[in-house]
Copies of this chain bind each other. A is one copy, B any other.
């Protein structure tokens, strides 16, 4: 009996170390393919340079749908198809104007502003009024209707530079943009100016979606660059009577038919077990949407391309999903989850890349403890690639609706230090994505997808 146990144990150790060494070899092959013959960077070049910014409902968004469909067909994936989905169609219109009108020190000064996504426009009449700086909604409540009525509210709480995870800093400041306009409107404000959600002090304003509450007047809202916000704040200290003017020409048009784009390689052993990996195809209109989220889209297609290039036949079905409308509605992500239920699909995992094409540092997973433990157990396989952060908790906006079906969701984690320089700005262009970082990210993602395909979660 004892001998038998020893034998069994030896066999288990041998087989697990053989398995481990097979995985090491496969992962090395994946990285080699991505770094030597990778296609993610050239895909990104096309999507950003030849198509450009692609807000939901825009002609560019339609072009991106058709491009990604053709691209996946060209690579010879087994199936490529569209999932129709109605999406909001917000347009920015003519360039915004922002102006400090009556500074004692400087006179009238133009400042860089952009309309918040989904916001109503001021029209050519603009919004003109006294402006009050606040840090948060508590301060707003303290001021109350008497002091706010007829004024413009200036939300100026910065992202905390001390936090290593800049997404945590973003979360700590983003309610100003998401709910600020409606919160201020409750007290009779006529407009809102929000400090850009940026980790840096510069003159580049950051747009992003706002959500109007039900039965609250919809007031126009802009983001001001961090430099502009600092200037405005310092002038307000000397001059409480300061007035601000802004003009936006944005409007919400009727919903438009658009699509998620799905490409898949059928599994040989368990074709009904689906592993999805995706990014969102739509982007804001101000730039080419390179990091947000062109990178995630091309990396997801690249995961499948790498498998084909390596002649790797997955056991399970691997699916690349280009989600539509993450930025101002999440209609694509919702539709995808809806269809998964409708079609009785069995997703064993979903991964999203939506934190930019930066250096890969790890993965975060939401799921059962067993599922999390499994992902975390693969960490040693990634240390040769300087990937050390395997965390409990994670996912992505587009795959979050799948959590209600208990699908484990995995967020790909690139380093976060540079992201909030480019996020939702006019400078998130192809040139600020580094080829090796993008490729390493695709390789890291493909390696985790490979392991899930081999061993499940």
Contacts and interface: CB of A to CB of B under 8 A. Distances in A.
Interface of A: 31-32, 35-36, 161-162, 164, 166, 199-200, 359, 361, 384-386, 388-389, 415, 417-418, 421, 434-437, 440
Given A32-B162, A35-B161, A417 B434 contact: yes
Contact of A361 (B31, B166, B200, B386): B386
Nearest to A383: B388
Contact of A162 (B31, B199, B389, B434): B31
B417 A359 contact: yes
A346 to B, nearest CB: 36
Given A31-B162, A161-B436, 20 more contacts: A32-B162, A35-B162, A36-B162, A164-B384, A164-B385, A164-B386, A199-B436, A200-B435, A200-B436, A359-B359, A359-B415, A361-B386, A386-B388, A386-B389, A386-B415, A388-B388, A417-B436, A417-B440, A418-B436, A418-B437
Contacts of A415: 359, 386, 415
Contact of A434 (B384, B389, B418, B440): B418
Among A36, A359, A385: residue with most chain B CB under 10 A: A359
Contacts of A361: 386
A443 B359 CA distance: 20
Nearest to A434: B418
Contacts of A199: 436
A41 to B, nearest CB: 9
Contacts of A166: 436
Contacts of A385: 164
A421 B434 CA distance: 9
15 contacts: A32-B162, A35-B161, A161-B436, A164-B384, A164-B385, A166-B436, A199-B436, A200-B435, A386-B388, A386-B415, A417-B436, A417-B440, A418-B434, A418-B437, A421-B434
Contacts of A434: 417-418, 421
A342 to B, nearest CB: 41
A242 to B, nearest CB: 27
A232 to B, nearest CB: 21
A206 to B, nearest CB: 16
Contacts of A386: 164, 361, 388-389, 415
Among A36, A200, A415, A436: residue with most chain B CB under 10 A: A436
Contact of A161 (B36, B388, B418): B36
A359 B389 CA distance: 15
Nearest to A37: B161
A434 B384 CA distance: 26
A35 B169 CA distance: 13
Nearest to A33: B162
Nearest to A166: B436
A164 to B, nearest CB: 6
A231 B388 CA distance: 39
Nearest to A200: B435
Nearest to A31: B162
A85 to B, nearest CB: 36
A271 to B, nearest CB: 33
A421 B41 CA distance: 15
Nearest to A165: B386
